[in-house]
Amino acid sequence: MNVLMVLTSHDKLGNTGEKTGFWLEELAAPYYVFKDAGATITLASPAGGQPPLDPKSDLPDFQTPATDRFKADNAANEALANTVKLESISADAFDAVFYPGGHGPLWDLVDNAASISLIEQLNSADKPVGVVCHASAALVNAKAADGSALVKGKKVTGFSNTEEDAVQLTDVVPLLVEDALQEKGAIYEKGPDWGSFILEDSNLISGQNPASSEAAANAVLARLR
């Protein structure tokens, strides 16, 4: 069971002067769902090497048993420091892909040709494609086999407009996940802000926010089994 996890390489939060990147819980929780199930995990990113961690996700309020475990896991941190360059990845080598969020993906995974191709190839092979939070935006420009938007007519979730408003970044981000998915014809649904909420539609599995990352990964794992 080979699982690919794709992280952002983008570290600038628009023109705010602040840093962004991937959200720690959204990597750590799924990582151990897959690892504890015996999966071989490969970490990749557009630029390769060490992806940027969103510093806010490292604050005490956002720590969980999974983030604590990840920080103490030398092998996991070694893999994180040496992510494979996304364009070198062969979709055929993997049984599933999972995209952790953080605001970074809004800048470098929406239009990334290698990422789009990867999603399209796994989808056409009916392999699970998992996304959580802002990483749902990685689906926006992927296409189905017939050339239509991959998410058209599919139930999909991701970071909601109300959650983006709550973190006061609505006017900073290049797109709003909820709006972008709906513009492509997705049937966007959400649960309460900050609560765990996932959707499954054929092989697409999406989670709304950080609290949804473990459940989304478990849904991917259930399909692999």
Of the candidates 108, 194, 199, 201, the residue with the CA atom closest to the CA atom of residue 153: 201
- Residue 176's pLDDT is what? 98
Q: How confident is the model at residue 37 (pLDDT cuts 50, 70, 90)?
A: very high
- Residue 185's pLDDT is what? 98
> Domain limits of the chain?
2-224
Q: How far is CA 174 from CA 38, 106, 215, in A?
A: 37, 7, 27
Q: Are 41 and 31 in contact (CB under 8 A)?
A: yes
The string of DSSP codes covering 9-40 is ---B-TTSS-B--B-HHHHHHHHHHHHHTT-E
| pLDDT mean over 129-138 | 98
- What does the pLDDT look like over 38-83, one tens digit per residue? 999 999 999 999 999 999 999 999 999 999 999 999 999 999 999 9
* Strands of 27-123, DSSP E: 40-45, 84-85, 96-99
Interacting residues of 208 by C-beta distance below 8 A, sequence separation 6+: 132, 133, 157, 158, 159, 160, 163, 190, 191, 195, 196, 197, 198
Q: How confident is the model at residue 174 (pLDDT cuts 50, 70, 90)?
A: very high
Q: How confident is the model at residue 127 (pLDDT cuts 50, 70, 90)?
A: very high
- Residue 209's pLDDT is what? 98
**133 φ, ψ (degrees, to nearest 5):** 60, -125
CA dihedral 202, 113, 158, 75 (to 10 degrees): 90
- Residue 112's pLDDT is what? 98
The yes/no answer on whether domain 2-224 falls in CATH 3.40.50.880 is: yes
